[in-house]
Structure 1
Amino acid sequence: MNCAPFDVFAIRYARHAGRIAADNYLGKVDFHDAESDLDYYVWVLRRGDEIYLVDTGFGEEAARQRGRELFMRPSAGLALLGIDAAQVQNVILTHLHYDHAGTLADFPAATFHVQDAEPTYVTGRCMCHAPLRHPYDVEDIVQYVRKLYAGRVTFHNGTAQVAPGLTLHLVGGHTRGLQIVRVWTQRGWVVLASDASHLYGNIGNSAPFPVVYNVGDMLEGYRIVRELAESEDHIVPGHDPQVMLRYPAPEPALQGKIVRLDVAPTTGGGALG
C-alpha cells in the first residue's frame, strides 16, 4: 500500500455484564466463553494530523435507561489521547444504534459518514416493529437528522474510499445499513468489524448475534470481513472484552481504557472462536 499507515486505537467506554449465551448467540451453543459480557468501544484512526473517529457511543442517559455501566463519555476517551472532540472533522458511523450513534452533539465540527441504506431503514416501515426499533434511540435519530439538515452528513453506497488506506464496506445483517471499516496500518489491513461480529465467537463459530435484521446477510458478512482482513489476527470485533486483553495499551496509565490495534495482538492471536 503506497500510503502512510494509520495508528488505530480502541477506547472502552462502557460495559454490559451478566449476559448469558442466549443473549449473544442465536440457537444452541456449546462452545467456550459463550456467556460473555459486552464491552462498548469507539475507535480512533490517526495519521499525523488526520483523525477519523469510528462511532460515537452513548452517554449517561442511555446508560441509565438500558442498564449499562458507563466508564466515561466517548469524548472523554478521546481526550485521553490528546484529541479534542469539538475539533474532530470526520466521524464514521457504522450504524445508528444507540451505542454507536449517541453523543453526536459532542462533535460539532464533524462530518458524519453513513451508508445510504441505514437512515432509510431507520426512518422506514421496519421501525413499526418494536424488536427492530428497540436498539435505536429516537433522540439520537433526531440529532442525526439535525446534522443532515446542517449539511454534516456524507452518504456512501457500498464500498467507498474515504482516504488513502481507509475504506468502508456495506455488509448489512445486524442492521440494513451496517458498514465495516478497513484501515491500513503498520501491520497490514485491519478490519474494524463493529457489529458485523460482536464477539470473536460470532464470526469464529458462524453463530449469529440475536439482534439481527437479516441472518443471511449477517452470515455473508463474516465472509466479507475475512476477505478484507490481512488474517484472522487482523479482525477486531465490536464488543468483545478480549480485545482489551489481546492488545497492548499505548501507555501504562491507559491500561484497561485504551488499546492499540495497529500492532500485533500479544495474546490469543489466531483464535476467533
Structure 2
Amino acid sequence: MADPRIHHLNCASMHPVAGFSLEHRGGAFTGLVCHCLLIETTHGLTLVDTGLGTTDVRAGAQRLGRMFWHVVRPALDPRETAKYQIEALGFSVADVRHIVLTHLDVDHAGGIGDFPNARVHVLAAEHAAAQARRHLKERDRYRPAQWPARTEWALYAPEGERWHGFEAVQALTGLDPDILLVPTAGHTRGHAAIAVRQGAGWLLHAGDAYFHRDQMARHAGCPLGLRLFEAAMALDNGQRRTNQARLRELALDDDTVRVFCSHDPVELAQATPPSEIAPAPASNC
C-alpha cells in the first residue's frame, strides 16, 4: 500500500496501585497508557488494538472485573475511547473496517463493540484461550461481554514466513500485505506483535511482550513492579523471555524496524506529533 497515515492513540490511561514501583528509582511515574494505532488504508480504517470501549467506560468494574478495576485503576475517560478519537479526526465508526489485536486482554479488546462493521483479526490460539478461559490467569483477564455475538472473526493458524527473526509471520485476509501478524506467545497463549510498513521501514507494535522501554536497551532493565507483573501475568514465562529477547535484538540491531509496546507512556509520547497529543485525563482514584 502507499505510505499510510498512522495515528498513535492512547485508548486507556491507567494508574496502578504501587505506581512508584513501576518506574526506576528517581523517575517520575505518570501512569500507564494503552498505545493503539489507527491506520488509514485503501481498505478503510484499521485499528491495532482498541483499548477500553464506550461500554467499559460506562459500566466500570462490573464489566472490567474487580481485579482489573482495583489493581490497574483505569481512568475511564470517554475522550480516550477509540470511538471518540476517531470521530474527532472526522471519521465515523463505519469507516473502521478492520481491527487487528495483539491479544484479547480486557484493556486491549474493550472497544470491539464500538465498531460493528469491523472484522477482528487475531491468532486462533488467542481466540480459543479467551473462549475457554481454562487457566486461573485467563478467567479474569478475558471479558467475553466485550465481544458482541455478531463479531466477525478472522482467525489465523501459526503458519507463514520468516520475518526479522520471527517465524510464521503472515499478512491478513482482506488487508494490504504491509500489515503483518507476528506470533510472540508468552504473555498469553496467542499473543502477537503487529508490523506495519511505514516508508522504507516498519513499525512493530509489540503489545504486552514487554512493558518498559529500557527492556529494549543494550543493558536491559525493568522497574521491579513491572518485572513482577510481567512474570505474574505470563502464561508461559519461557516463551515470553525468548520473544522479548528477539524483540530486543531487533530493536538494537535493525534500524529499519521501530519497536514499541502497549503501555509505556514515554514511547507513546515519542511516537506522537505534538499536535495530536490530547490533554491527560484526571485519575478516578
The one of 182, 189, 202 equivalent to 1:189 is: 202
C-alpha RMSD of matched pairs (Å): 3.0
Tell me the equivalent position of 1:242.
266
Alpha-carbon shift at residue 19 of structure 1 (Å): 4.4
**Structure 2 equivalent of residue 271 of structure 1:** none
- With structure 1 as the length reference, what TM-score do the two structures score? 0.76
| Structure 1 residue 198, shift from structure 2 partner | 2.6
Residues 133 and 142 in structure 2, CA contact (< 8 A), matched pair in contact too? no
Look up the match of 2:243: 221
Q: Is contact 2:13-2:32 (8 Å) kept? A: yes
Question: Gaps spanning 5+ residues in structure 2: where?
Answer: 62-68, 159-168, 281-285
- Percent identical: 23
Alignment coverage as a number of residue pairs: 242
The CA deviation at 1:100 is 1.0
| Mapping 1:167-206, distance limit 5 Å | 167-186=180-199, 188-204=201-217, 205=220
What is the 5 A alignment of 1:112-151?
112-124=120-132, 126-127=134-135, 129=136, 131-141=137-147, 143=148, 145-147=149-151
- Once the two structures are TM-superposed, the CA of residue 235 in structure 1 deviates from its matched residue by 0.9
The equivalent position to 1:39 in structure 2, one of 13, 33, 37, is: 33
> Any conservation in 2 of the 1:182–1:228 contact (CA below 8 Å)?
no
Alignment partner, residue 155 of structure 1: 155
Offset of 1:233 from its aligned partner? 7.2
Distance 1:35 1:240 in 2: 10
Q: Match of 1:126, SS?
A: coil
Deviations 1:117-170 (A, max 9, x none): 01211223624x1x33222213125x2x542xxxx1111123211222211111
- Name which of 73, 81, 87 aligns with 1:79: 87
Contact 1:200 1:240 in 2 (8 A): yes
- Unmatched 5+ stretches in structure 1: 259-273
Matching residue's letter, 1:160: Q
Q: In the alignment, is the contact (CA less than 8 A) between 1:14 and 1:39 conserved in 2?
A: yes
**Which structure shows the higher helix fraction?**
2
Residues 202 and 83 (structure 1 numbering): CA distance in 2 closer, same or farther, change over 3 Å?
Answer: farther
Which has the larger displacement, 79-88 or 236-245? 79-88
- TM-score, structure 2 length as denominator? 0.73
